[in-house]
Amino acid sequence: MAVSNTNAERRRAPLSSWVKQTFLTLGSVAVTMLGLLFVTFIIGRVMPIDPVLAIVGERASQSTYDAVYQQLGLDKPLLVQFLYYLWDVCRGDFGMSLLNARPVAEDIARVFPATMELATIGVFIGIVLGVPLGVVAAVNRGSWIDQIARVVALVGYSMPIFWLGLMGLLVFYGVLGWVGGPGRLDIFYEDIVPARTGMILLDSALAGEWSVFRNAFSHIVLPASLLGYYSLAYISRMTRSFMLEQLTAEYVTTARVKGLSERAVIWRHAFKNIRVQLITVIALSYANLLEGSVLTEIIFSWPGIGSYITTALLSADMNAVLGGTVVVGLIFICLNILSDLLYRVFDPRSK
Amino acid sequence: MSNITSHDQSWRAWLMTDAPTSRRHARLANLYQGWLTLRGNSMAMFGLGILLALLLIALFAPLLSPHDPFTQSLSNRLQPLGSEGHLLGTDSLGRDILSRLIYGSRITLYIVALVALIAPVAGLLVGTVAGYAGGWTDTILMRITDIFLAFPRLVLALAFVAALGAGIENAVLAISLTAWPPYARIARAETLTIRSADYISAIRLQGAGALRIITKHIWPLCISSLIVRVTLDMAGIILAAAGLGFLGLGAQPPSPEWGAMISEGRRFILDHWWVATVPGLAIFTVSLAFNLLGDGLRDVLDPKDGSQ
């Protein structure tokens, strides 16, 4: 009995600190999310659009106006209004879209898979090409391949994404005709496969409609490569600097002195140690792609959340803009936490 | 200092000295040696050259542009590159693209200068106060910073512009509001390392107040890392401004803002490609120049995390 007691106590000590750590993290996340909602709330309040007029129209009588004014809770103090807003958001209610009179939450659920499909393929391209490029550039520091990697990244940092997208469309769609044009599918292929996940490549593969799959692929390949290029620029740069740090470490010299092959030194020793840092970088660039796709989606008429927010913005559909902003912000925060957690799980030093 | 100039020493030797005789002498010598390092970096000098050229173009826009950037000539619309009197062609309203490009450089510089004034100063203020005060002030200010960092930048700028209304000043404000948090982070980190230094304690013993310590003794030390960060951020600022212009939320027509010009040219991209291509190249060139210069400056001013 006594032994098991001390064992339990021994086990409890690190557990409680872990619990405390988790609570601290969750607490700061909660504060950040609260702040995000507060900012969007304030933006919604200073917007030069009268939400009541938008609902009742200009010809409504004063009594109708007042009724709706009260119904929306606009006569309450700002803090109470904020609490109402919080309560609504917690229930997943972002209000009605003024454009199509449908719940904003439903709209977002419909458009989000398109963005996710695009960003996922983009970040995949970024990882597959960016990580090896960064490693090779670090190993052959100063060589021509390092210079190429540098130029690739520099151009990626300096090029306006919407312009590159236009140029891509011009060359690969307009002149060469290698890829599909704007949109997710040619009109001929639309509404053939049922939307199960909302991601057309996945849906068409699940339905076994390979002609639809091919068409969808020809449409997604250009915007996805574009996003892939941008995450490649970032991932390869970070990989290179992480690798350089490892390659100058003493254990690498030791491994070489031991007579290990260069490949084993690089991939089994040095690369193994940067995997944890890379996870953070990849999560960050995924988050950036989810939001950075706004302009890409416009160029390629891609019906994702970026297009949704922008269209709503240009037609002064406030609920839709704020709903979209909140969702993107929350996902952004969640990906940051996720990378933080993964870091803790995979980094032996943090245990 | 007068006795130095009376000696028959060249400026160069005076600037290269190891034993500066005054504070200004030390500062100038330091600057000169930084300049020498920067001059050795050909890519950075290339970037600097482009930016100087841009500055000159913006200054002398009325002299350089062959046509008025706003004069329309519908009979002369969509002229191709290299056509008579229009080196870079004309747009859908027959306006000379080269002239619009030249005048657009003023808008680009205007946006960049304003953001570069607002965002780092705001960040410096927040960061140094948080770092120096510590305690609750620090916690609250840094929480606010984290909240703004957690926001996706372009989406936040979009929402701000939606609230404030489209326009170039509001675009600047929106970009600044999304750009200040990293500066606050940097300034706070610098302040934390400086705060406990002996010379700060010495000044405090002499009776200097918090305001004096922050403005006179902490700010000057934060400046160099902020400059590097600003230069590297410039490219992002230009791209963000062009993006807002492209979406129709920044500079309004008929303003020759480069992003808005791409947006105008987008409709004709398949038949008249140059209308959208040329302003895009201009944006690319300028942001590339800022990136090159920023890399070089980082090596000079902030050697500890230079691009190895």
Task: Find all residues with CB under 8 Å of B281, minimum gap 6, and list them.
Answer: none
**How many cross-chain Cβ pairs, A to B, lie less than 8 Å apart?**
141
- A120: containing domain: 106-350
Could you read off the pLDDT of A184-204 as tens digits, one per residue? 887 777 777 777 777 878 888
Instruction: Evaluate whether residue A96 is within a structural domain.
Output: no
Considering CB atoms only, which of B158, B246, B291 is closest to A309? B158
Instruction: Evaluate whether residue A331 is within a structural domain.
Output: yes
pLDDT of residue B306: 41
Give the chain B residue whose CA is nearest to the CA of A38. B147
pLDDT of residue A2: 42
Domain boundary among A90, A120, A141: A90
Q: Which of residues 99-128 of B touch A (CB under 8 A)?
A: none
Phi, psi of B151 (to 5 degrees): -75, 135
Do A35 and B243 count as a contact with CB atoms less than 8 A apart?
A: no
Do B247 and A324 count as a contact with CB atoms less than 8 A apart?
A: no
Considering CB atoms only, which of B162, B235, B247 is closest to A158? B235
Q: Same domain for A79 and A157? A: no
ipTM score of complex = 0.81
Domain boundary among A66, A90, A114: A90
Give the chain B residue whose CA is nearest to the CA of A29. B147
pLDDT band at A1 (very low <50, low <70, confident <90, very high): very low
Q: Same domain for A249 and A157? A: yes
B19 DSSP assignment: S
pLDDT of residue A236: 92
Do B152 and A244 count as a contact with CB atoms less than 8 A apart?
A: no
d(CA B103, CA B254): 12
What is the model's pTM? 0.83
As a whole number of Å, the CA-based R_g of chain B is 23
Considering CB atoms only, which of B143, B150, B291 is closest to A336? B150
Asked if pLDDT for residue A272 goes beyond 90, the answer is: no
Q: A208 to chain B, minimum CA–CA distance in Å? A: 35
d(CA B24, CA B179): 33
pLDDT of residue A349: 65
B96 DSSP assignment: B
Give the chain B residue whose CA is nearest to the CA of A324. B155
Distances (CA, A) of A19 to A6, A24, A26, A121: 20, 9, 10, 36
Angle at A167 between CA B276 and CA B93, to 5 degrees: 15
Do B155 and A32 count as a contact with CB atoms less than 8 A apart?
A: no
d(CA A232, CA A289): 11
Q: Same domain for A192 and A273? A: yes
pLDDT of residue B3: 53
Q: Same domain for A68 and A129? A: no
Q: B49 to chain A, minimum CA–CA distance in Å? A: 17
Whether a cis peptide bond, with omega within 30° of 0, leads into B254 is: yes
Domain boundary among A25, A58, A90: A90
d(CA A129, CA A235): 9
Q: Which residues in chain B show pLDDT less than 50?
A: 1-2, 305-308
Tokens in use for B224? 């160099």
Please tell me the class of the B92-306 domain.
mainly alpha
Q: Which residues on adjacent β-strands are paired with residue B96?
A: B90
Instruction: Give the number of domains in chain A.
Output: 2
Partners of A222 on chain B (C-beta within 8 Å) are none
B276 DSSP assignment: H
pLDDT of residue B51: 92
pLDDT of residue A284: 84
Considering CB atoms only, which of B146, B160, B246 is closest to A295? B246
Partners of B268 on chain A (C-beta within 8 Å) are none
d(CA A38, CA A51): 18
Q: A170 to chain B, minimum CA–CA distance in Å? A: 6
Q: Same domain for A86 and A126? A: no
d(CA B286, CA B298): 18
Do B243 and A162 count as a contact with CB atoms less than 8 A apart?
A: yes
Interface probe, candidates B46, B158, B277, chain A, greatest A C-beta count within 10 A: B158
Q: Same domain for A81 and A150? A: no
Partners of B248 on chain A (C-beta within 8 Å) are 314
A92 DSSP assignment: T
pLDDT of residue A257: 87
Interface probe, candidates B136, B144, B151, B278, chain A, greatest A C-beta count within 10 A: B151
Phi, psi of A18 (to 5 degrees): -65, -45
pLDDT band at A124 (very low <50, low <70, confident <90, very high): very high
Handedness of CA A155, A161, A163, A169 (dihedral sign): positive
Q: B146 to chain A, minimum CA–CA distance in Å? A: 7
Average pLDDT over residues A87-110: 84
Handedness of CA B263, B267, B268, B269 (dihedral sign): positive
Considering CB atoms only, which of B150, B164, B273 is closest to A32? B150
Instruction: Evaluate whether residue A101 is within a structural domain.
Output: no
Q: Which residues on adjacent β-strands are paired with residue B90?
A: B96
Partners of B287 on chain A (C-beta within 8 Å) are 157-160
Partners of B163 on chain A (C-beta within 8 Å) are 43-44, 46-48
Instruction: Evaluate whether residue A237 is within a structural domain.
Output: yes
DSSP string of B199-236, one letter each residue:
HHHHHHHTT--HHHIIIIIIHHHHHHHHHHHHHHHHHH
Tokens in use for B163? 């609230």
Residue with the larger pLDDT of the pair A71 and A174: A174
SS3 content of chain B, % helix, strand, coil (to 5): 75, 0, 25
Q: Same domain for A75 and A207? A: no
3-state secondary structure of A103: strand
Interface probe, candidates A158, A161, A170, A322, chain B, greatest B C-beta count within 10 A: A158
DSSP string of B155-185, one letter each residue:
HHHHHHHHHH-SSHHHHHHHHHHHHHHHHHH
Q: Which of residues 226-265 of B touch A (CB under 8 A)?
A: 235, 239, 242-243, 246-249, 259, 262
3-state secondary structure of B249: coil
C-beta of residue A213 within 8 angstroms of C-beta of residue A201: yes
| Weakest-pLDDT range from A2-11, A57-66, A74-83 | A2-11
C-beta of residue B172 within 8 angstroms of C-beta of residue B111: yes
Q: Which residues on adjacent β-strands are paired with residue B86?
A: B83
Partners of A36 on chain B (C-beta within 8 Å) are 147, 150-151
Handedness of CA A112, A114, A117, A122 (dihedral sign): negative
Partners of A290 on chain B (C-beta within 8 Å) are 152
C-beta of residue A29 within 8 angstroms of C-beta of residue A329: no
Do A35 and B269 count as a contact with CB atoms less than 8 A apart?
A: no
Other CB atoms within 10 A of residue B193 CB: 10
d(CA B87, CA B122): 43
Which residue carries 């993290």 as its tokens?
Answer: A25
pLDDT of residue A10: 47
Q: Same domain for A180 and A317? A: yes
pLDDT of residue A5: 47
Could you read off the pLDDT of A201-256 as tens digits, one per residue? 888 888 878 888 888 888 899 999 999 999 999 999 899 988 888 888 888 888 88
Instruction: Evaluate whether residue A98 is within a structural domain.
Output: no
Instruction: Give the number of C-alpha atoms closer than 13 A to the C-alpha of residue B273, restricted to the C-beta side.
Output: 13
d(CA A277, CA B295): 23
- As a whole number of Å, the end-to-end CA separation of chain B is 39
Residue with the larger pLDDT of the pair A42 and A228: A228
Instruction: Evaluate whether residue A95 is within a structural domain.
Output: no
3-state secondary structure of B86: strand
Do A158 and B284 count as a contact with CB atoms less than 8 A apart?
A: yes
Q: Same domain for A268 and A130? A: yes
Considering CB atoms only, which of B162, B165, B243 is closest to A160? B243
Give the chain B residue whose CA is nearest to the CA of A329. B151
pLDDT of residue B303: 55
C-beta of residue B48 within 8 angstroms of C-beta of residue B241: no
Q: In B21-134, where does DSSP find H-type helix?
A: 23-40, 42-59, 61-64, 97-133
Q: In A93-209, where does DSSP find H-type helix?
A: 104-139, 144-158, 161-168, 200-207
Other CB atoms within 10 A of residue A334 CB: 14
Considering CB atoms only, which of B146, B259, B287 is closest to A158? B287
pLDDT of residue A15: 60
Q: Same domain for A198 and A68? A: no
Q: Same domain for A242 and A324? A: yes
Q: Same domain for A54 and A185? A: no
B308 touching chain A per CB within 8 A? yes
SS3 content of chain A, % helix, strand, coil (to 5): 80, 0, 20
Average pLDDT over residues A109-134: 92
Nearest to B260 by CA among B273, B247, B278: B247
C-beta of residue A320 within 8 angstroms of C-beta of residue A105: no
